[in-house]
Amino acid sequence: MNDKTKNIIGNYLRGRLRCTEFALTNACIAKCTFCNIWKQKPKVFVDREKALTAIDRLADFGVSHITLTGGEPLLHPHVIEFVARATKRRVNNAVLLAAPALLLRKETPRRLEDAGCDLVSISFDSGDPATMAASRQIPNIMDEMKKALEALKQTSLKTMASVLIWNENHDKMEDVCREAQDMGFDFISLNYPTFSNSDVYELGGDGISLPRARVIEAMEDAIRLIQSRKYRIINSVRSMRNIIDYLKDPAAAKFPCFGGTRVLFVDWFFNVHPCMQLPDVQGNILTMAEKDLSRPACNDCNMSWYRDFSMLHSGWRSIPALWESVTGNRGLL
């Protein structure tokens, strides 16, 4: 058992386990049809020293996993240092990106490995090159992704295809998962379409304007794929069923979201939000205290990352989800 795993277990047993998405910049190469961050001006990059302090403070607050995101986190000149600081603080960490070409410069995969990165997650909307290029507005993105995955395979880094359910794939779940796995991704995560009320993290657009019934059908297809064990999909079946209940009737969701308490979003101004969707600001990570990370449980959206992690914080009712996470026995739950 490595130090990061020990830290996760220790913080969980002490009731202090938290997870965070930390957005390093609003600069982005992609021009996604369902995200408007790339349109924001001026472009902001977190200050190096303040960001290192922010990671320290998050670790002090019990944060045991950080996903470095953006915009495009690999555009930040000090992203490797941020990974190294998280590793030094025994914090499991991942880098989420949309432009795989950034992995092909300056020996980035090797530098991420040396810094202790645990996972590289790449947005993957479709196995069709034309659809991918159109959705992200990056020509030749699939060729670049293949080259990036080949470079990552030369390291110990694990890779994950981050798949958004949207208009072009909601009825092709198995095709997308097969294509991601055939391309060489180690894992697949599914994200559910949602619209944002945040001025900082703008999500929406026609590309994800799916009727709830269509989203439910896609999620039910995905559950069947998980239970078949043909694909390495990491989503919790128990959490997915909870979100399906929410989509049918928000009052029917059995497990709330603990965004702002156990799961956090830190933006490029170092402001802490319950999640990337809500406009609420709880404080600034550079000045706030741990006691400020308190907020009533929420049931306002179906944001996958936040609700999935929140499943682990519902007392005895979390035991099946914990067992699922530890054993990977998703088809039994």
Global pTM value:
0.94
Q: Tokens standing for 126? A: 């479709």
Residues 22-68: pLDDT tens digits? 999 999 999 988 888 888 899 999 999 999 999 999 999 999 999 99
Whether the bond between 250 and the residue before it is cis, its omega within 30 degrees of 0, is no
Q: Which tens digit of pLDDT belongs to each residue from 274-311?
A: 998 888 999 999 999 999 999 999 999 888 889 999 98
**What are the two backbone dihedrals, phi and then psi, of residue 264, each rounded to the nearest 5 degrees?**
-130, 160
Alpha helices in the chain (DSSP H): 3-13, 48-60, 79-88, 108-115, 129-136, 141-152, 173-183, 212-228, 237-248, 304-310, 319-327
Which domain range does residue 253 map to?
A: 3-332
**Band of pLDDT at residue 319, cut at 50, 70 and 90:** low
> Number of structural domains, the chain?
1
Least confident of 88-92, 236-240, 242-246, 281-285: 236-240
Here the CATH number for the domain that contains residue 209 is 3.20.20.70
Tokens standing for 21? 């998405």
97-101, 207-211, 232-236, 288-292 — which is least confidently predicted? 207-211
The pLDDT score that the predictor gives to residue 101 is 96
- Half-sphere exposure (CA, 13 Å, Cβ side) for 227? 13
